[in-house]
Chains A and B, each alone.
Chain A
Amino acid sequence: MATIIDIKEEIALQVKDFEYTYAGADAPSVKKLNMPIAKNSITALIGPSGCGKTTLLRSFNRMHDLYPGNKYAGEILFKNRNILDKNEDLIHLRTQIGMIFQKPTAFPMSIFDNVAYGLRLQGIKNKTELQDRVEKSLQNAAIWKEVKDRLKHDANGLSGGQQQRLCIARAIAVEPEVLLFDEPTSALDPISTAGIEELVVELKEKVSIIIVTHNMQQAARVSDYTGFMYLGELIELGVTENMFVTPTEKLTEEYITGKFG
């Protein structure tokens, strides 16, 4: 049995007996997983490659549904509903639960249009409203000063770190309640990484954050809670400060002291 501490905050997402099987696979990649995600906090998911942490992350916004043949079981409760339900409106879900990827994914359009993209999808056409919300998002993503004079420029002209912040601005523009970060700094240099980490910590005032990372120091620096996964199971979920000092589970201790992974 996994060790799961009690969450003192409100719960944003509750994972219940969750299982996930890839198309054509015999065994599930994530097994019987139970896990609460705290509201307005940062929960880091760590574990060796193939432990299922990214698979779990991509279930929260049903990204897996883009590829046929995958199977979910169990429940993920969000705002009093099971988002794994067949009838879940995925378009709506994805505006409530946003995602940032391993690599910056600026669309082939201008900086402004990138951030306005999600808003336009929701039917916002009013120019002033678009401008206001784009500016606010860029400010919240701490990139406004760098791009305000070249909003009409192609977004692919920005540096990697800037692009990643642009993607964050794009994701928060639609005001999601949860943000999923899938190793957001794995393609960035140390200085850009520090900038993104700082930004992630600031963002938790407005959204609940789940971040998958390979980098244990990163998890220690930014997160409030840390979940350690191994072979598709959650081994331990704890308060980050305690987890890295006095883990309860032996496996967790071995992983964070570098005995494997």
Chain B
Amino acid sequence: MADMKLKKEDFEVVGKDLKSSEEIIRKSLTYWQDAWMRLKANRVALFALIIIIIMLGMAVFAPMMTEYSYDQQMYDRISQTPNSENWFGTDELGRDLFARVWQGARTSLFVAFVATIINVSIGVIYGGISGYFGGKTDIVMMRIIEIIYSIPRLLWVILLLVVMKPGIKPIIIAIAITGWGGMARVVRGQVLQLKQMEFVLAAKTLGADTTRILLKHLIPNTMGPIIINLTFQVPTAVFTEAFLSYLGLGIPAPAASWGSLAQSGTKMILLYPHMLLFPAAMISIFMLAFNLLGDGLRDALDPRLRA
């Protein structure tokens, strides 16, 4: 098999080259860079992300794009269908629907994000503590969640409205009270699993205290599931807000939210379907986009799929 073209010099001994053998060829990717690469490859999730960014942008800037304000009544333009002046038409009181829908987006999204942030903060800390200490602490803390969960969300709002004025506050509080339990359960499950891992034991042998183990080791490794859970909480909160406003337990007039707009649109559904169509479409598109993004994130962040 000897190749005739080979020369004696080719067989000069050069020996080991350990440096090149220990070299890592693959590009260094952090967990988040890697997840982003996976998410980018998922077109549906990426499209959903773009939709969400556009909707957030519109909620911030749209009210500045139109000359009409959300509570300005124009008696000469009552119940108009969409046209070049009023892009989404007007309602039965002559208010510009384009301005109202995006003003409503502000309210709805504000409620959703604030409630979600509260849920995440309480849920992560509560679930982390419950899972980390385990045993009796865990049993007591989990029972508390079950008790809170046994009271329906609607009942919480009605009870809150007894002591508070209707508006954004009772809705946020109601969503927060009944929403953090899910996050707490997710985090607890993860922590229960992670605290047995050898890297946590290693930190303990190094003398790390509880705070350090929770903040440096357990929580960062739970970030994937936390974010996935979060992306599913935001649309749930939007929907809850819409649902409560639709029942008349939400934002009072003249303020607008997607739910209250849909509610007033329903009254006119036979005559002017556009009054319901726009807010309802917003709710649907936003929820769908967040759910699709959540699915994409789950695939991107799931450590089991990591090569």
**B is bound to A:** no
